[in-house]
């Protein structure tokens, strides 16, 4: 007779995600995951498979959070250029405050062993989501006369994605807020 699972899969996945986010894949052991989630090793393997499969599920969850929460201010209403600047200011604030650890996708892409093709696909999905959100905001800004319409919207969107990534790295390197904000001010000049 099969035993009923005695834990909430989503809560365990969220806890595993947080641990991978804080420590990275290579520095997170199965014992760390068991301790953090409160799920015994046998149940962990039965539910998620191995550590790599759990990491892939955590990356899926992370991408859902990016789509549903993280990018929401960029996709909001109001002047598009203000949305772009406000979004990037929010990135700085969340990183400096410690509210969110450095981006899981950036950490995963910089790991010594970046992992499987599935991990690279997850990273690509994340980048495409961010690029798409910036692209729409740039197009909105062009339509509203905030950015010149002859500017290449795809190039500006990609540039803003790079800017976001570098702001996260600035914060991870513990650069001071004035340095990071100066970086942002200079980056935003590219939209003029």
Q: What is the pLDDT along the chain (192 residues), one digit of tens a residue?
A: 445 457 788 999 999 999 998 888 888 999 999 999 999 889 888 988 899 899 999 999 988 988 888 899 999 899 999 999 999 998 888 877 766 666 778 777 766 555 678 888 888 898 999 999 999 999 999 999 999 999 999 999 999 999 999 888 887 776 678 888 898 999 999 999
Helix axes 9-23, 30-37, angle to 10 degrees: 130
3-state secondary structure of 111: coil
Q: Using an 8 Å Cβ cutoff, are 47 and 12 in contact?
A: yes
Q: Using an 8 Å Cβ cutoff, are 31 and 78 in contact?
A: no
| DSSP result, 8-43 | -HHHHHHHHHHHHHHH-STT--HHHHHHHH---HHH
d(CA 65, CA 70): 6
DSSP 191: G
The number of residues making up the chain comes to: 192
3-state secondary structure of 182: helix
Angle at 118 between CA 61 and CA 39, to 5 degrees: 45
Give the model's pLDDT for residue 65: 87
- Tell me which H or E stretch contains 112: none
Lookup result for tokens 């995963």: 108
**What are the domain boundaries of the chain?**
1-56, 71-191
List, in order, residues 6 or more apart from 24 with CB less than 8 Å away. Answer: 107, 108, 111
* CATH number corresponding to 1-56: 1.10.10.60
Handedness of CA 160, 161, 164, 169 (dihedral sign): negative
Domain 71-191 has CATH 3.40.50: no
């Amino acid at each position: 007779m099969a035993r009923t699972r005695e834990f909430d899969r989503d809560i365990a996945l969220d806890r595993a995600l947080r641990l991978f986010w804080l420590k990275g894949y290579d520095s997170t052991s199965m014992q760390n995951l068991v301790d953090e989630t409160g799920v015994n090793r046998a149940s962990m393997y039965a539910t998620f498979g191995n550590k790599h499969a759990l990491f892939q599920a955590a990356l899926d969850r992370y991408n859902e959070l990016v789509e549903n929460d993280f990018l929401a201010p960029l996709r909001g209403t109001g002047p598009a250029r203000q949305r772009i600047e406000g979004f990037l200011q929010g990135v700085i604030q969340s990183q400096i405050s410690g509210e969110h650890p450095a981006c899981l996708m950036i950490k995963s892409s910089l790991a010594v062993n970046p992992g499987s093709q599935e991990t690279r696909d997850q990273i690509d999905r994340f980048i495409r989501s961010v690029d798409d959100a910036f692209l729409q905001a740039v197009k909105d800004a062009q339509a509203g006369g905030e950015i010149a319409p002859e500017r290449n919207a795809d190039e500006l969107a990609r540039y803003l994605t790079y800017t976001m990534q570098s702001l996260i790295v600035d914060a991870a390197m513990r650069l001071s807020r004035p340095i990071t904000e100066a970086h942002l001010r200079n980056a935003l000049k590219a939209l003029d």
